[in-house]
Amino acid sequence: MDMLHISLFGAFHIHSNNGSIIDVGPRRCQELLSYLLLHRHQQQDREKVAALMWRDSTTAQAKRYLRQTLWQLQSAQQPSTAPIRDLLSVDHEFLGINPEAQYWLDVAVFEQTICAHHNTLGQALNTQQIEHLQAVLNLYKTGLLDDWDMEWCVVERECFRKIYLTALEKLLVHSLIHRSYDEGINYGAKILFLDAAHERTHRRLMQLRYHSGDRIGAINQYLLCVKTLEDELGVPPSQKTTRLYQQICNDCVEPKKPEPEESENGSYLAELEQIQDTLSLLQERVSQMILHCQRDTAATVFRDHA
């Protein structure tokens, strides 16, 4: 049986085993399917989904738009061996992804692999674990659904960005410990591309460049760190960064010893918890919107019959 291959990193894309692109319909169909795939482990309340997707519409309008979008999804032209309708589980109250459906999903592979290595410190990664992490990090591309700006999508995108950065930090630490300087510099550059003012990464890049024999590059990395911190945060570098810079200038850097790995992922994981709290607040706000609309509707009906 043919199987759907679904990509949510970069641009939304679905194709079958033979490479045929599958058209699921208009943008709203893509948005709905993406939301359900991101929440594939739990069936979703139809009314809440409708309120989230069509926030500027009345409850009745949102429900109607959801019905129309579901109909478009389920009736879109797809190969008979891998229809989208078999991917969905829909009833009068709930909708979601069919737990028995067979499909490949990039974000699912990404999450599973990152979680499998979550408790392994960067310096303790073995060759196979590194290969697994490198492979799934390549799936990330430019981020989750990078051209979509809906609030729920922005929150989810930031969540995946933090997970991606956390995994890159693991690989960066491993590279520093095991003298894989070029690889480490590449990982550090990827981190700074998404988080230019991440001072700990600047320090690690200073170490990597120095130990690779590029003392001038290490000094330039410090100067870039100083400028970026000033431009983005309006703060000077920490004493730890300044001390490392002085050691590099004096050509007496201490032996390669990364900062304690208890703090390796601390900042990104703390931010990730904040993002998850934001997502919970967003879902709670949707529930309150539904309740408010229901009360308004009930009040209108009462007045009409008074």
pLDDT in tens, the chain (306 residues): 578 999 999 999 999 888 888 889 899 999 999 999 999 999 999 999 999 999 999 999 999 999 999 999 988 766 554 578 889 999 999 999 999 999 999 999 999 999 999 888 888 999 999 999 999 999 999 999 998 999 999 999 999 999 999 999 999 999 999 999 999 999 999 999 999 999 999 999 999 999 999 999 999 999 999 999 999 999 999 999 999 999 999 999 876 665 655 444 555 555 555 555 555 555 554 454 444 444 444 444 434 444
Environment class of 213 (CB within 10 Å of its CB; exposed 0-12, middle 13-18, buried 19+):
exposed
Secondary structure of residue 103 in the 3-state scheme: strand
Res 153: pLDDT = 95
In whole angstroms, what is the distance from residue 185 CA to residue 204 CA? Answer: 9
Res 280: pLDDT = 55
The total number of residues shown for the chain amounts to 306
Structure tokens at 85: 């309708």
Domains of the chain and CATH, by start: 4-105 (1.10.10.10), 108-270 (1.25.40.10)
Res 200: pLDDT = 96
**Degrees, nearest 5: CA angle 170-270-37:** 80
Contacts by 142-145, CB closer than 8 A, 24 or more apart: 142/9, 142/10, 143/9, 143/10, 144/8, 144/9, 144/107, 145/8, 145/9, 145/11, 145/12, 145/34
Res 237: pLDDT = 97
Res 254: pLDDT = 76
Instruction: Find the helix packing angle between 106-116 and 127-137, rounded to 10°.
Output: 150
The sign of the torsion formed by the CA atoms of 21, 108, 106, 269 equals: positive
Res 157: pLDDT = 95
DSSP 57: S
